[in-house]
Amino acid sequence: MTGRRALVRSGYPGAGSLGAVALEHKPDFADLLTLDTLDRDIFRGRCHEGAPMRAFGGQVAAQAQIAAGRTVDPDRRMHSLHGYFLRPGRTDAPIVYLVERLREGRSFTTRRVSAVQDGEVIFSMSASFQRPRDSDDSHRLRMPDVPGPDEQSQRWGPMLIAPDFPPFQLLDLRLVTSSAAPEDGMPRQYIWVRVDQPLTDDPLLHVCALTYLSDVTLSTTARRPHLRAGPGRLDLVSLDHAMWFHRPFRADDWLLFAQDSPTVGGTRGLSRGMFFTRDGELVASAMQEAGLLRH
């Protein structure tokens, strides 16, 4: 299948679904986001591991986006999402996505998605879609002056730790620079990111891929200054995630992910990020709050 239909299957197949096989071979990236259609506005998916035996939050959020997008007219583009991670998701059971149609406006459409596992909501998301419109009013932040992706050979840390983990094989992340303790007290990291295989032209697939990519590195920005502070291991638990999609882009082409963390306190850390094309165009922004737990 290609295009929009490639990410939704009809019917109610058995247990041999995406998540069970994703760790056994290198899948297509679109396989990570493919959902089964169970009924009108009801979908089912599976997720691979993030933390041990916990579903990867970026994949849960991206699948929720797919579910929402499949209930919206194709001429509307997702421009924002706001999600809350309520409970850890498991990798050994399917996740059901329930879509509520909150608004059908002339220009904007709004959906709410609840991701349910074992009868409990593990993730809740609101997403807004807009019919594309041209505007003469525009401004944007300039891209940081950093070396391009072709000048970087160092892959981002976790990609080196687990290079044989199949989902990681689908991504190419190149660390440009990072600073744990700059003068203004705000840790930063700059990473070139992309899905390392061609994607279809479906705009929804590209915004979902960017949400997936953002969750791989964003919260680690807040953790960087504190890795060696105090005894024990420092773990991250995603609490919420927000994305804004400003302009069209392709997630299978290089994007600079410029990240910083304004604050950590009360066991919570806030991270921000902006995505730029190689031409310097700001195409998306992200924010995430994560719990920093020391064991």
Residue 2: the pLDDT is 37
* Residue-level pLDDT, tens digit, the chain, 295 residues: 334 445 776 543 332 333 333 445 567 899 999 999 999 999 999 998 876 668 999 999 999 999 999 999 999 999 999 999 999 999 999 999 999 999 999 999 999 999 999 999 999 999 999 998 887 778 889 999 999 998 876 777 655 445 556 677 899 999 998 887 777 878 999 999 999 999 999 999 999 999 999 999 999 888 877 766 555 566 778 999 999 999 999 999 999 999 999 999 988 999 999 999 999 999 999 999 999 766 5
What is the DSSP code string of the chain? --GGGGGEEES---S--HHHHHTTS---GGGGG-EEEEETTEEEE---BSSTTSB-HHHHHHHHHHHHHTTS-TT-EEEEEEEEE-SPPPSSS-EEEEEEEEEE-SSEEEEEEEEEETTEEEEEEEEEEE-----S----PPPP----GGG---B-HHHHH-TTSHHHHTEEEEEEEEESS-TTS--EEEEEEEESS---S-HHHHHHHHHHHHHHHTTHHHHGGGTTSSSS-EEEEEEEEEEEE-S---TTS-EEEEEEEEEEETTEEEEEEEEEETT--EEEEEEEEEEEEE-
Q: Where are the domains of the chain?
A: 3-132+150-294
Residue 232: the pLDDT is 57
User: Would you say domain 3-132+150-294 falls under CATH 3.40.50.300?
Assistant: no
Residue 165: the pLDDT is 62
Residue 87: the pLDDT is 95
Q: Would you please indicate which residues are annotated as catalytic (active-site) residues? A: 215, 238, 288
pTM: 0.87
